[in-house]
Structure 1
Amino acid sequence: MRHRIGFAGDVMLGRLVDEAQRRRPATAVWGDVLDRLRGLDGLFVNLECCLSTRGRPWRRTRRAFHFRADPDWAVPALAGAGVDCCALANNHVLDYEEEALRDTLDTLDEGGIARAGAGRTREEAFEPAAVTVNDLDVAFVSFTDNTSEYAAAEGSPGTAYVEIDADDEGTRTAVRGALARAAERDPDLLVASLHWGPNMVEEPPESFRAFAHWLIDEGADLIHGHSAHVFQGVEAYRGRPILYDAGDFVDDYAVDGRLRNDRSFLFVASVTDSGDLRELRLHPTEIYDYSVHEAGPDAAGWSRTRMRELSAAFGTSFERDGDALVLPLGG
C-alpha cells in the first residue's frame, strides 16, 4: 500500500485572511484545493502565525509584521483540510507574545493537530511530533534560524532556534538530540521541517545544501523547507527529497511581479508501508482572494518551467503527468 503525504509551505492565516474568513465558511481558505487536500492520507504545513485573540504585538525588538488568526475558525479550517501537523519553528509564532503562543499550543492540542518547533520551554520546542498516517508512523521535527529573539530558553516559551551550520557544536547537539528522540519511536518516516533563510531568495546557499545533506545522513527521510516566500528547487539526495523551499500556500502578501510569490505547489510524497519513498508529485497552486487555488494554465506552466530550471542545478529532472510534475525516487 502507498500513502500520499502532502507538504505545503507557509500557511499565514492572519490579517486580511483572518478578516475574510470571518465572512465565509472556515474551509473557504483552501479554495478549490480542498478536495485534493482531503484526499491525502496525511498533511503537514508551516503555520506562519499564532492562533489567538489575545496578546499584544511584540515590541521588544523591531517587527514590521504581526500575524494572528482567530482560532474559532482557524482550527476548524486546519482540521477540515485534514492537516495532521504544523511546524511552529518560524518568525511569527511569538508575534503576540507568550500569551498568544500558549494559546496556539493549547488550541492545536485541543483540536487534535500535532505540532513541533515551539513550546513553553526549550525542551518542548525541540520535542518531535508523532503522527500516524493510516498505519504509517511519521516523526516530525521543526527548526528555524529566523528571529533569534524568539528562541525558547530553559524557562521561557519560544521556538526551536538553531544556526544552520552542521559544524556548529550547539546546532549538532540540539538537532541530534531531537532526531534521536524521534528515532526512539522507530518511525517509518522522519521529516525535518526548516524555516530557514531570508525572504524572496530563489536559490538556497551552499550552507543550506550541506545542512540538508547532513540531516539526511543523520536519519531524516524528507526535508520540508520554507521561509523564502518563493519556491526553490528540489533535490533528491540518497533517494530522499529535499524541498529547499515550498513557498507560500496561503497569505495576504503583496505579489512580486517577477518572483511570483503567489505561485507554488502542493508537494505530495508517495510512501510505502515500510517507509520507502517512491515519488514526489508537485501540484501547482496559486493564491488569490485570500485563499489557495489550483493554478490556472498560465500560472501552472510558469511554475513548472521555473521549478525545472531551479532544480536542474541539483541534477533533478521531472516527468510530467497532467498539470503535475513527478520526481521518481529510488525507495
Structure 2
Amino acid sequence: MRDEDAIRLGFAGDVMLGRLIDDRQRKRSVAAVWGNVETHLEALDGLFINLECCLSARGTPWTDTYRPFHFRADPDWAIPALNAVGVDWTNLANNHMLDYGPDALRDTISYLDEAEIAHSGAGTDAKSARAPAFVSVDDLDIAFVSFTDNTPEFAAESDSPGTAHVEFDVTDDKAARIVGDSLAQAREANPDLLVASLHWGPNMRTEPTVEFREFARWLTEQGVDVVHGHSAHVFQGVEIVDGTVVMYDTGDFLDDYAVDSERRNDRSFVFELTVEDGDCTELRLHPTEIYDLAVHEAEHYASNWSMQRMDTLSSAFGTQFEREDDGLVLSI
C-alpha cells in the first residue's frame, strides 16, 4: 500500500507530434493524441517526456547533411496538448531539435517557456543547452540535466544554438568534464531528486552497450538518482545501481513511425516512479501501445508481450518485477 503523501512521477519516452500526427490533429480534439491514457497522465503529480520534434511554424528542413526525416508540430495545438496532461518538463537533447533549423529551435524554447513547461538539453548556445532545468512537484524539488550523443552536427557551440552533445564514454575526459559541470550546477540548488535524461545510441537496439552501463554507474557516483534513457525507439531493461533507478530506454510513447514486427517500437510503458520523503521507493510500469496516431493502454496481448519482454530484459541486470494490476511493480 502506497502512502497517500507519496509523489507519483511519470516518465515517458519519445513523443513525436509532427508529420502524420500533426496533420491528424488539425481535424480532431487537442487531447486526442493521448487516447485513453489521458486520465492516467493527468492524475500523475509530475510528467516528464522526450520531445522528439520542434514546435514551430517557421524554418526550413535541415539540408547540411542528409536527413531522411524532419519532424515539426504546430504549437497552436501541440502546446495545449502537452498542457492537457500536465507535462512539467521535456528533454530537448535529441536528433530532431534542429530538423527545421535554429529559428524553429528558438520557437520551441519560446513556446515551452510561455507555457511554463521546463526543458533542458538545447539552447541558444552551449552554455544554455547544457544548463540544468528545475521543477517543483508538490514539495519535491527536481533537477534535470540532458545530453545526447546523436547528430553531432546539431551540437550547440559557444556562439550558435543547438543541443547538448557528448560521447557517453567514462574514459572521455571531455565528456566527463562537460556532464560533470552540468551535474555540479544542478547539485548547487540542492534538489531532492537529480535526473539525467540521455538520448543515447542508435535505433532499434534492445540492450544498452557496456559503455552505457559504465556511464550509468559513473552518473550514480555523481549523485544522480534517476537515469531517463531514450533514443532506441524500443524499451530496454531497468537496473537499480546503488539505489539509482536506471531506465536505459523508455521507448516510443507517441509517434507515426513504421512498426518493426519483432521489436515492436509501438509498445512501451508509462514509467511511474513513486517518491516518499525524498526517496525513490517504487517503480510501476503501465503498458502502452500506439495506434490510430495516438497512445493507448495496451490491450491484453500487447500488454503481456511488453511485460514478458521487460521481465526478460531487466532480469539480465538482476531486476525482478512483480505483476500487479495489469502492470509491473518494482520495490526499490
Scaled to the shorter chain, the TM-score interval is over 0.9
Task: Quote the residue 1:112 is aligned against.
Answer: 116
- CA distance, structure 2, for counterparts of residue 2 and residue 238 of structure 1: 22
CA deviations on 1:14-65 (whole Å, 9 max, x unpaired) are 0001011111111111110000000000010000000001000000001010
Task: Quote the residue 2:126 is aligned against.
Answer: 122
1:211 and 2:219 correspond:
no
- CA distance, structure 2, for counterparts of residue 308 and residue 183 of structure 1: 33
Gaps of 5+ in 2: none
Task: Quote the residue 1:12 is aligned against.
Answer: 16
- CA distance, structure 2, for counterparts of residue 194 and residue 204 of structure 1: 12
CA deviations on 1:66-111 (whole Å, 9 max, x unpaired) are 0000000000000111100000000000000000000000000001
1:230 and 2:234 correspond:
yes
2:265 counterpart (228, 250, 261) = 261
Task: Quote the residue 1:311 is aligned against.
Answer: 314
SS at match of 1:279: strand
Letter in 1 for 2:330: L
Superposed structure 1 runs of 4+ greater than 2 Å apart? none
1:50 and 2:54 correspond:
yes
Task: Quote the residue 1:149 is aligned against.
Answer: 153
Letter in 1 for 2:210: E
Count residues with an aligned counterpart: 328
- TM-score normalised by the chain length of structure 1: 0.98
1:173 and 2:150 correspond:
no
Gaps of 5+ in 1: none
1:286 and 2:289 correspond:
yes
Task: Quote the residue 2:249 is aligned against.
Answer: 245
- CA distance, structure 1, for counterparts of residue 300 and residue 244 of structure 2: 30
Task: Quote the residue 2:66 is aligned against.
Answer: 62
Task: Quote the residue 1:26 is aligned against.
Answer: 30
1:296 and 2:296 correspond:
no
Letter in 1 for 2:181: G
Letter in 1 for 2:331: P
- CA distance, structure 2, for counterparts of residue 216 and residue 27 of structure 1: 37
1:82 and 2:86 correspond:
yes
- CA distance, structure 1, for counterparts of residue 91 and residue 129 of structure 2: 10
- CA distance, structure 2, for counterparts of residue 28 and residue 112 of structure 1: 22
- TM-score normalised by the chain length of structure 2: 0.98
Q: Give the CA RMSD over aligned residues.
A: 0.6
Deviation at 1:312, TM superposition (A): 1.1
SS at match of 2:320: coil
Task: Quote the residue 2:106 is aligned against.
Answer: 102
Letter in 1 for 2:235: F
CA deviations on 1:195-250 (whole Å, 9 max, x unpaired) are 00000110111100000111111011000000000000000111221000000000
